Structure 1
Amino acid sequence: MTFSICVREAYETTEGDSHHRFGVAVTTRLPGVGTLCPFVGEDGAVATQSLVNVDLGERGLAYLEDGLAVDDALEALLNADDAAPQRQLHGVGREGTFAFSGAECVDWFGHEEREHFTVAGNMLTGEAVLEATAANYAENAVHETTDPWTGPESVTDEAETDPLAKRLIDALAAGYLEGGDKREELPIQSAAVAVATTEHRDVVPPYNDLRVDATETPVDDLRETYALARRGYVDTLARYGDAFEDDSLEDLDE
């Protein structure tokens, strides 16, 4: 009933510090997918779908935080899950990927693993949905490079690449245009994107955690929400950036 993408990108800040960022984006023909499917933290990203088991996402992240490799962590959870044949579970850790589609998922279903990302879906119009999602992200991936989107002073700079959240939404859009979820009798849909990074920021970009819970145009609405959140982030830093950096309201202009 869903298709999603999980990604890992390694990067350096403009000061030369090494970091990872992780992201998940998902859409489905049901309300509220952002409450069920995407899980992301400083050690990885996980998506749980088909017959959803939220515990797989929550415990998967916890295992990654404990230092388990993503394939060991998610495989262990599936081995203990009696309903595993009806699950889809995929994700990325700091050094690997994992993807699983149970044999009892509803057609069309499948998944794909690449070096730095995974895609998976079920109840889709066809394989082309995942192929388009993967191709769009791969074309725009930013890995092992310097990230211009770090620090309040750089947020308004022109950059050659978009933030990960924007690129994940674009990947969803490509899959959606290929047909997405096949259940046209269910018009109320949802979408979500979530991104986390190992880098500390005084102000966490609000566009890194967005959901559209009930709409007939989920990807378009998520894109619009991203644009508004991005604009609000720029406005916030312009007005309050120094206060956040100093952790003080003492010199704040009203």
Structure 2
Amino acid sequence: MTFSICVREPYRTDADERAYRFGVAVTTRLPGVGALCPFVGESGALAIQSHVDPDLGERALDYLDDGLAIDDVVAALLNADAPEQRRNRQIHGVDREDSVVVTGDSCVGAIGEYDGDHYTVAGNLLTDEAVVRETADAYEASAFGDRPLAERLIDALEAGHAAGGDKREALSVQSAAVTVVTTESTPYRRFYNDLRVDASETPIADLKRTYEGAMLGYEQMLSEYASAEDIEANRPE
């Protein structure tokens, strides 16, 4: 896999209650990264990359929901892993308090990682470590901003891609994904918070267009229906 960003943003709701946004954005020069790499729930967000294993991500979210800290979760997963797999894993993420980045010593370079406390960035098979730096810088410039987190995460991916991205230029079919979960209860789904482009030669540009379309659909829904009850009544089965 290539590079991703995991984010935790605590905030106050309109009712002045503490809530969290968790998100992951990822891109790679292979199809279907959104089905394999990002894992997001109400207790944290992780990316499992290099030698991917979706089972690790699902187990990680279960452990976080049980109250384990993110560093203990990742340590437990890797300790139970086969040694030849453990050396090839790159796992990073955040929970409600902490963050962690682990890169196995057999991951292929260029390798980059950054722990920004409430967010992490990591990548492998990169053109240069600048990919990670530019992704982090782009996110920091918009962190806790007014725009939706999904939009800001796509912008961070775009900055990393512009810095070089995945070095495997012979692989033209690429993918990208963004997933955001909030602990705040809402009466309806925000369509723009879970988007994937599974096979494209321009995945980040396509993900941005997909986001814009999802946001337009969300705004049209709010305009069409008078209340949250109307939205719920017209939700597709």
TM-score normalised according to structure 1 size: 0.89
| Equivalent residue letter for 1:162 | R
Aligned to 1:115: 117
Q: For residue 241 of structure 1, report the CA deviation from its aligned partner.
A: 4.7
Q: Is the 8 A contact 1:56 1:74 kept in 2?
A: no
Question: Aligned match of 2:215 in 214, 230, 251?
Answer: 230
Q: For residue 17 of structure 1, report the CA deviation from its aligned partner.
A: 1.6
Q: Does 1:212 align with 2:212?
A: no
| Equivalent residue letter for 2:95 | G
Question: CA deviation digits over 1:208-246, x for unaligned, max 9?
Answer: 000000000011000000000000001112112515368
For 1:107 and 1:182, the matched residues in 2 are separated by: 9
State the Cα RMSD in Å: 1.3
Label 1:247 to 1:129 Cα distance change in 2 as closer, same or farther (>3 A). Answer: closer
Runs of 4+ in 1 over 6 A off after TM superposition: none
Question: CA deviation digits over 1:87-124, x for unaligned, max 9?
Answer: 00011000000110000001111311111000010000
What fraction of aligned residue pairs are identical, expressed as a percent?
57
| Equivalent residue letter for 2:86 | A
Bigger Rg, structure 1 or 2:
1
For 1:19 and 1:243, the matched residues in 2 are separated by: 20
Aligned to 1:106: 108
For 1:173 and 1:60, the matched residues in 2 are separated by: 27
Q: Could you tell which deviates more after superposition, 10-19 or 87-96? A: 10-19
Q: Is the 8 A contact 2:70 2:93 kept in 1?
A: yes
For 1:122 and 1:23, the matched residues in 2 are separated by: 20
Question: Aligned match of 2:229 in 220, 238, 244?
Answer: 244
For 1:65 and 1:108, the matched residues in 2 are separated by: 33
Label 1:241 to 1:97 Cα distance change in 2 as closer, same or farther (>3 A). Answer: farther
Q: Is the 8 A contact 1:25 1:168 kept in 2?
A: yes
| Equivalent residue letter for 2:176 | A
Question: Aligned match of 1:87 in 89, 112, 126?
Answer: 89
Q: For residue 14 of structure 1, report the CA deviation from its aligned partner.
A: 2.2
Q: Does 1:52 align with 2:52?
A: yes
Unaligned ranges ≥5, structure 1: 143-159, 250-254
Question: Aligned match of 1:126 in 112, 128, 139?
Answer: 128
For 2:54 and 2:63, the matched residues in 1 are separated by: 14
Aligned to 2:19: 19
For 2:180 and 2:92, the matched residues in 1 are separated by: 16
Aligned to 1:145: none
Q: For residue 42 of structure 1, report the CA deviation from its aligned partner.
A: 0.4
